[in-house]
Amino acid sequence: MPKIEPRRGKIVIHLLGRKYEWTVEPRYWRNPMIGLALWLTLPLLIYATATSVFHYHPIALLSTLIFANLLIMMAVPFNLQVIGTGRLSFGPHFFLAVGGYTAALLSRDYGVSPLLTLPAAFFMGAIIALAISPITIISRGVYYVLITMLLPFILGEITYWRSDIFGAETGIPNVELLFHTTGNVTLDVLIFVYVSLAIALVFLFFVDRTLRSRYGLMMGVINEDEDVALSYGINVRWIKIVTFTLTSGAMAISGWFLAHYQGSFSGPVWLMPSFLIMVLLTATLAGKGAIYGVVVSAYIVATLREITRVSLGEFSVVVLFLILLTLLYFLREGFWGLYRKRRYREYEPSIRVRRKT
């Protein structure tokens, strides 16, 4: 029996009388370029080797990558939202659906091109978020959870009630695809992988810049203690409203992508709690307020989902959640926490000051 000992920064595995140490915090990871290169070549690698090495249909593997990137597209703005509003929303998938419907309806009914449905989806998400943003100021704790949980529920009901517009479970068909298909389905999916990866990268970039900016620091204080933030003279309301609005708009872009990737959009599929839970788990597994951890956790969540789906069928959801809960138990602070714990100061803006004596 292997004995696995998770330690700070490394995992020690005892197996067959031998000891293996696996450093989870390798120094070479610190160069983001290596991670980025790995991330960028992974789809190509899978495209090339899926059939020969994995004996698996490449499309299934590539779709898993797309799902992982979709989780990143949701969890990265979500984490920023949690920091900037100091509240945990249970309705991120609502904004995905808003973006999806906006893009699908504009495309099917008015023939608007994907390039224009993109800003439309963003603005629709942002405007709805702005309209309900006072909840980030008024409500706290369970009330906030309840209100944000009701949003996707209500939208789900509406899609059935006005199935003439939203098409209920069938959704909205005949949505223009993002690009002209190449004729090779696998290649098309590969291109979609890269599109989703590009969006995920853009989100990471923006969120990273925001967190490093002065506003990011202010958000950090709001996240820790709103009253303290106010006592510093930080306009907490304004930051919360702007954060909620913009991050919700960003989440709507995930819906836009889905609509133009699948050629249709069906809200109820995404408004289901199981998708919400995967987004929440991705965000949580990444570690509190961590955005690079999201990349790792999204790929793990998506891979586990695919494995359990194939091997266990309908039972998969239960097993998947059990696996993820176990992971959460061992990684209380998420993947990034492993790294942060030892070197928390590196992730604070670092300042070297020499004192004149």
Partner 1 sequence: MIEMLKVSNLTKRFGGIIAVNDVSFEIKKGEIVGLIGPNGAGKTTLVNLISGFYSPDRGKIEFNGKNITKMRMDERAKLGIARTFQNPRVIPNMTAHMNVLYAILGSEHGKELTMTEAGAEAIYYLDLFGLLKKRDVLAGDLAIYELRLLELARALALRPKLLLVDEAMAGLNPAEAEAVSKLINRIRNEFDLTIMWIEHVLKVIMRSAERVLVMHYGRLIADGKPEEVVKKPEVIEAYIGEEEV
Give CA–CA dist 72/195, Å, rounded: 13
Token representation of residue 69: 């990137």
User: C-beta of 219: minimal distance to partner 1 in Å?
Assistant: 10
Stretch that binds partner 1, among 43-51, 65-73, 92-100, 223-231 (CB under 8 A): 223-231
Minimum CB separation from partner 1 for residue 49, in Å?
43
- CB contact set of 183 (below 8 Å; sequence gap of 6+): none
Q: Would you say 21 or 225 has its CB closer to partner 1?
A: 225
Question: Of 25 and 333, which CB lies nearer to partner 1 in the complex structure?
Answer: 333
Query: Which residue lies nearer to partner 1 by CB, 205 or 238?
Result: 238
* Cα gap 62→44, rounded to integer Å: 9
DSSP H/E element including 20: strand 18-23
- The one among 12, 228, 310, 318 contacting partner 1 by CB under 8 A: 228
Tell me: does residue 27 bind partner 1 (CB under 8 A).
no
Question: Per rule CB under 8 A, is residue 276 in the interface with partner 1?
Answer: no
User: Taking Cα atoms as reference points, which of 98, 118, 96, 93 lies closest to residue 107?
Assistant: 118
In angstroms, the Cα distances linking 259 to 26, 41, 166, 305, 321 are: 39, 26, 13, 21, 27
Answer whether 189's CB lies under 8 Å from 178's CB: no
> Token pair of 249, please?
């708009």
To partner 1, the closest distance from the beta carbon of 231 in angstroms equals 6
Assigned token pair, 114: 């994907």
| Residue 154: other Cβ atoms inside 10 A | 12
Q: Which is nearer to partner 1, 86 or 171 (CB)?
A: 86
- What is the contact mask toward partner 1 in residues 166 to 205, using x (rule: CB under 8 A)? ----------------------------------------
Strands 18-23, 3-7: pairing kind? unpaired
Reported as type and span, the H/E element at residue 15 is strand 10-15
Q: Cβ 237 to partner 1, closest distance in Å? A: 8
For partner 1 (CB under 8 A), the number of binding residues is 25
Query: Could you say which residues in the range 235-274 bind partner 1, by CB under 8 A?
Result: 235-237
Question: Binding to partner 1 by residue 221, rule CB under 8 A?
Answer: yes
Q: Applying CB under 8 A, which part among 150-158, 233-241, 251-259, 321-329 lies near partner 1?
A: 233-241
* Site of interaction with partner 1 (CB under 8 A): 214, 217-218, 220-221, 224-225, 227-237, 344-345, 348-349, 351, 353, 355
